[in-house]
């Protein structure tokens, strides 16, 4: 997510080894591997070609579990992470990791309102093509803004003076060290991507038979994005051959560069505090409400630091990040089930108003990917460049082939939330707008289900009956089949199917109604109250804006 930049090095500046208090001087964030190794002649470690004796290598046939298996294997394993427990909870009954919003590790979603629908290809249908859009795996905190590093800076700074001490549940802070890196994937994040690649090969590998050229998969240029794409490929193709089994397109993610997988780089309004930043502002209102009891409970356990509500929210973030980076965090059990439910809702507010249905730039941010999807589905090149689409990329059948049986694109949490808004998956928005003073009884928008680490949105193009040509499409988000009923013309269907021509027509209409130039660039103010539920600045309010 985009936040103002405060470099982590600020932490090093503030850090002074503790005097009276006993914070242990740690290596902070600078450990480097590998060490300066002695050079060993490679003749001692010949490679496989030089050694020979590889034995027989028959490959067998491709798997197609999404069509052949009787049941879906769910993602619910967080090995090697240790499931944290809430302060007042029985770990088995309350799964803190499911309440961490976009910091949750992806787990299979049971249902988005179509109970009984399965990602397995419906009886009588055949699979023609698959479109995978996934998020990167678990990462360290991004740099800047509030977060674990800011909290650590405050604690380290207090501990460097006199009069710092922590007791009770907070006693561990006396010896706690900040060990997190920034921006890049954690080892667990790499595992998530590798597992996604393996899983995708087992479920969809048979579609490889339809390729006549090497597949082109896309990601963006940030380190964690490239790392995610390569770990996916290593899982999908195998580490022995993945480098030559496909082409990896790396699209530049940087200010002013057109990139549908990082569209915020060309959408100024989405980066303005008073428009794109309103998700954070809405979340802050709620954070002040739900963390009040925790502030009262925990403040007496620490002297030398006045714990603010922001500190407490940062402590919850530290639980999330330490868990996915270090495998375990003592911060998790400081908070009750109710406070974790509150945290989850804060993230839901942040996304709803910042990147989802309630944000006036969301549909504009997501529409570029929708244009690309329509281009792929219709085998027609894009001709209008008036969104984040990059003509240099999509105008070439080398960098943007239209005829692949498998498409794989990697992106970010916020972008996936915007793309879902651009699609008009209104079932997710059914109970919006979201209040900031309480958690509503009926909810339909959970970020832990929409954009957790290693999120996967899978579009299946199907032929029903199997003997015919492609006739239907449906979308599966983190193993939950999405209802398509919000999309104009799509009928109710227990398997989430919509007729392909209807879907394409509706997406073309949506592309026509989303005004990228206005929503991303016009000088308007965030509507108050914000009743937007389709991610566009309300056309009815446009009079009087520049
Ligand atoms: C590793 O080698 C570099 C360059 O020779 C040197 O500057 C650095 O101090 C060495 N690091 C260690 C841990 O020995
Ligand atoms: C299109 O994408 C390429 C590769 O990412 C990039 O170098 C180029 O600057 C982009 N073009 C525009 C107009 O942003
Ligand atoms: C905490 O707040 C009290 C009361 O406002 C103030 O006197 C004290 O200096 C503060 N302590 C720190 C460490 O900021
Ligand atoms: C980049 O996007 C802008 C704004 O939508 C558009 O005017 C321009 O033509 C695009 N450039 C390319 C190379 O696609
Ligand atoms: C690109 O299109 C041209 C002309 O249709 C065709 O000859 C070529 O094989 C295509 N290349 C790829 C990589 O699809
Ligand atoms: C919640 O949803 C149920 C079922 O759709 C409905 O009967 C109930 O009135 C809703 N409650 C609120 C507070 O909206
Ligand atoms: C988007 O959703 C709204 C609300 O369900 C609906 O009125 C509109 O027709 C939809 N538009 C398209 C293009 O699907
Ligand atoms: C792009 O231009 C086309 C044709 O002028 C128009 O129909 C469409 O609404 C525009 N799309 C966006 C995303 O602004
Ligand atoms: C945006 O609109 C406001 C209010 O109308 C005005 O004060 C401001 O100067 C405008 N900003 C720009 C960059 O046009």
DSSP string, 61-81: PPP-HHHH-SSPPP----TTS
Give the pocket of ligand 7 (CB within 6 Å): 424, 426, 486-488, 506, 509-510, 534
- Please, how many CA atoms are within 13 Å of residue 178, restricted to the half-sphere of its CB? 29
Rounded to the nearest whole angstrom, what is the distance from the C-alpha of residue 277 to the centroid of ligand 2? 26
Nearest 5°: CA angle at 351, between 348 and 354?
Answer: 140
Q: Is 369 in the pocket of ligand 8 (CB under 6 A)?
A: no
- Select from 38, 57, 359, 24 the least CA-distant residue to 179: 24
Rounded to the nearest whole angstrom, what is the distance from the C-alpha of residue 43 to the centroid of ligand 8? 61
pLDDT in tens, 467-486: 999 999 999 999 999 999 88
Rounded to the nearest whole angstrom, what is the distance from the C-alpha of residue 400 to the centroid of ligand 5? 11
Query: 348: Cβ–Cβ under 8 A, 6 or more apart, which residues?
Result: 101, 434, 443, 445, 446, 447
Q: Indicate which ligand has the atom closest to the C-alpha of 275.
A: 9
All domains of the chain, ordered by start, with CATH? 85-161+181-522 (3.40.50.1240)
Alpha-helix runs per DSSP H in 119-215: 148-160, 187-204
- Calculate the alpha carbon distances from 255 to 266, 268, 271, 444, 523 in Å: 7, 10, 11, 33, 20
Instruction: Compute the distance between CA of residue 134 and CA of residue 378 in angstroms, rounded to an integer.
Output: 22
Task: Count Cβ atoms below 10 Å from residue 496 Cβ, excluding itself.
Answer: 27
**Model pLDDT, residue 146:** 84
Nearest 5°: CA angle at 133, between 454 and 539?
Answer: 115
406 φ, ψ (degrees, to nearest 5): -130, 125
- Assign 206 to helix, strand or coil: helix
Q: Indicate which ligand has the atom closest to the C-alpha of 307.
A: 3
- The atom number, within ligand 7, closest to the CA of 424 reads 1
Query: 382: Cβ–Cβ under 8 A, 6 or more apart, which residues?
Result: 371, 372, 375, 389, 391, 394, 395
Q: Is 252 in the pocket of ligand 2 (CB under 6 A)?
A: yes
Structure tokens at 522: 């016009």
**Model pLDDT, residue 414:** 98
- How much is the pTM? 0.93
Task: Count Cβ atoms below 10 Å from residue 393 Cβ, excluding itself.
Answer: 18
Q: If you search the block for the tokens 């800011």, which residue do you land on?
A: 150
Instruction: Compute the distance between CA of residue 106 and CA of residue 204 in angstroms, rounded to an integer.
Output: 19
% of the chain residues with pLDDT over 70: 93
- The atom number, within ligand 4, closest to the CA of 386 reads 5
- Select from 483, 485, 464 the least CA-distant residue to 116: 483
- Calculate the alpha carbon distances from 215 to 233, 243, 319, 391, 406 in Å: 11, 12, 39, 20, 8
**Model pLDDT, residue 366:** 98
Q: Is 523 in the pocket of ligand 9 (CB under 6 A)?
A: yes
- Select from 415, 329, 312 the least CA-distant residue to 102: 415
Instruction: Compute the distance between CA of residue 17 and CA of residue 105 in angstroms, rounded to an integer.
Output: 34
Best probe residue, ligand 4, of 256, 262, 385, 390 (max atoms within 8 Å of C-beta): 385
- Select from 358, 464, 478, 348 the least CA-distant residue to 76: 478
- The atom number, within ligand 9, closest to the CA of 523 reads 1
480-481 vs 472-477, strand pairing mode: antiparallel
Rounded to the nearest whole angstrom, what is the distance from the C-alpha of residue 394 to the centroid of ligand 4? 11
**Model pLDDT, residue 544:** 60
**Model pLDDT, residue 33:** 80
Task: Count Cβ atoms below 10 Å from residue 303 Cβ, excluding itself.
Answer: 14
Q: If you search the block for the tokens 């290598």, which residue do you land on?
A: 57
Q: What is the DSSP letter of 348?
A: H
Q: Indicate which ligand has the atom closest to the C-alpha of 442.
A: 6
Closest C-alpha to ligand 9, atom 12: 523
**Model pLDDT, residue 5:** 27
Q: Indicate which ligand has the atom closest to the C-alpha of 155.
A: 3
- Please, how many CA atoms are within 13 Å of residue 175, restricted to the half-sphere of its CB? 4
**Model pLDDT, residue 17:** 30
- Calculate the alpha carbon distances from 124 to 128, 464, 479 in Å: 13, 6, 20
Instruction: Compute the distance between CA of residue 246 and CA of residue 214 in angstroms, rounded to an integer.
Output: 5
**Model pLDDT, residue 545:** 62
pLDDT in tens, 124-152: 999 999 999 999 999 999 987 789 999 99
Using a CB cutoff of 8 Å and minimum separation of 24, what contacts does 463-466 make?
463/125, 463/126, 463/128, 464/122, 464/124, 464/125, 464/126, 464/497, 465/124, 465/125, 465/126, 466/124, 466/125, 466/126
Q: Which residues in the chain show pLDDT less than 70?
A: 1-30, 38, 90-92, 544-546
166 φ, ψ (degrees, to nearest 5): -130, 145
Closest C-alpha to ligand 4, atom 13: 391
- The atom number, within ligand 8, closest to the CA of 371 reads 13
Please check whether residue 217 is in contact with residue 409, taking contact to mean a CB–CB distance below 8 angstroms: yes
- The atom number, within ligand 5, closest to the CA of 403 reads 14
- Assign 377 to helix, strand or coil: helix
Rounded to the nearest whole angstrom, what is the distance from the C-alpha of residue 270 to the centroid of ligand 9? 17
Rounded to the nearest whole angstrom, what is the distance from the C-alpha of residue 360 to the centroid of ligand 4? 21
Q: Is 386 in the pocket of ligand 4 (CB under 6 A)?
A: yes
**Model pLDDT, residue 92:** 64
- Calculate the alpha carbon distances from 427 to 1, 3, 114, 491 in Å: 24, 29, 11, 13
Instruction: Compute the distance between CA of residue 29 and CA of residue 395 in angstroms, rounded to an integer.
Output: 43
**Model pLDDT, residue 133:** 98
Q: Indicate which ligand has the atom closest to the C-alpha of 397.
A: 5
**Model pLDDT, residue 93:** 82
Please check whether residue 125 is in contact with residue 117, taking contact to mean a CB–CB distance below 8 angstroms: no
DSSP string, 240-303: TTHHHHSEEEEE--STT---TTSGGGG-GGGGSTTTTTHHHHHHHHHHHHHTHHHHHHHGGGEE
Taking 3-state DSSP, the helix, strand and coil percentages for the chain, each rounded to the nearest 5, stand at: 40, 10, 50
Q: Indicate which ligand has the atom closest to the C-alpha of 525.
A: 9
């Amino acid at each position: 997510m985009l936040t103002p930049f405060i470099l982590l090095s600020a932490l090093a500046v503030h850090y002074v080894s503790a005097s009276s208090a006993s914070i242990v001087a740690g290596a902070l964030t600078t450990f480097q591997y590998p060490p300066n190794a002695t050079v060993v002649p490679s003749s001692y470690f010949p490679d496989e070609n030089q050694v020979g004796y590889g034995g027989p290598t028959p490959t067998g046939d491709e798997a197609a579990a999404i069509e052949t298996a009787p049941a879906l294997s769910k993602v619910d394993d967080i090995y090697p992470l240790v499931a944290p427990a809430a302060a007042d909870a029985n770990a088995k009954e309350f799964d803190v990791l499911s309440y961490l919003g976009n910091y949750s590790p992806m787990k299979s979603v049971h249902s988005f309102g179509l109970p009984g629908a399965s990602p397995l290809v419906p009886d009588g249908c055949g699979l023609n093509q698959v479109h995978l859009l996934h998020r990167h795996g678990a990462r360290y905190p991004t740099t800047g803004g509030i977060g674990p590093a800011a909290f650590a800076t405050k604690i380290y700074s207090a501990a460097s003076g006199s009069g710092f001490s922590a007791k009770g549940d907070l006693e561990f802070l006396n010896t706690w060290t900040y060990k997190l890196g920034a921006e890049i994937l954690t080892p667990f994040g790499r595992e998530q991507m590798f597992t996604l690649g393996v899983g995708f090969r087992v479920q969809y590998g048979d579609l490889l038979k339809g390729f006549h050229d090497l597949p082109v998969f896309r990601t963006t240029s940030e380190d964690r994005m490239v790392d995610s794409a390569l770990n996916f490929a290593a899982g999908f193709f195998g580490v022995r051959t993945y480098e030559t089994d496909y082409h990896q397109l790396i699209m530049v993610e940087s200010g002013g560069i057109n990139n549908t997988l990082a569209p915020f780089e060309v959408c100024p309004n989405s980066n303005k505090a008073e428009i794109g930043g309103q998700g954070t502002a809405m979340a802050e209102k709620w954070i002040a409400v739900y963390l009040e009891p925790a502030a009262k409970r925990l403040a007496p356990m620490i002297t030398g630091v006045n714990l603010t509500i922001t500190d407490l929210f940062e402590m919850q973030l530290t639980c999330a990040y330490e868990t996915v980076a270090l495998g375990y965090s003592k911060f998790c059990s400081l908070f009750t089930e109710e406070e974790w439910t509150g945290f989850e809702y804060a993230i839901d507010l942040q996304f709803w108003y910042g990147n989802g249905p309630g944000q006036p730039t969301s549909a504009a941010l997501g529409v570029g990917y929708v244009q690309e999807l329509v281009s792929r589905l219709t085998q027609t090149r894009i001709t209008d460049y008036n969104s984040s689409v990059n003509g240099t990329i999509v105008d070439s059948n080398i960098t943007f082939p239209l005829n692949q049986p498998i498409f794989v694109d990697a992106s970010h949490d916020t972008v996936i939330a915007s793309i879902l808004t651009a699609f008009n998956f209104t079932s997710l928005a059914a109970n919006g707008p979201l209040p900031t003073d309480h958690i509503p009884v009926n909810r339909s928008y959970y970020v832990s289900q929409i954009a957790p680490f290693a999120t996967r949105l899978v579009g299946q193009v199907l032929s029903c009956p199997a003997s015919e040509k492609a006739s239907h499409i449906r979308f599966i988000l983190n193993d939950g089949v999405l209802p398509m009923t919000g999309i104009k013309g799509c009928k109710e269907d227990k398997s989430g199917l919509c007729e392909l021509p209807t879907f394409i027509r509706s997406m073309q209409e949506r592309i026509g109604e989303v005004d990228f130039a206005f929503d991303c660039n016009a000088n308007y103010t965030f509507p108050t109250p914000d009743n937007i539920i389709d991610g566009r600045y309300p056309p009815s309010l446009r009079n009087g804006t520049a």
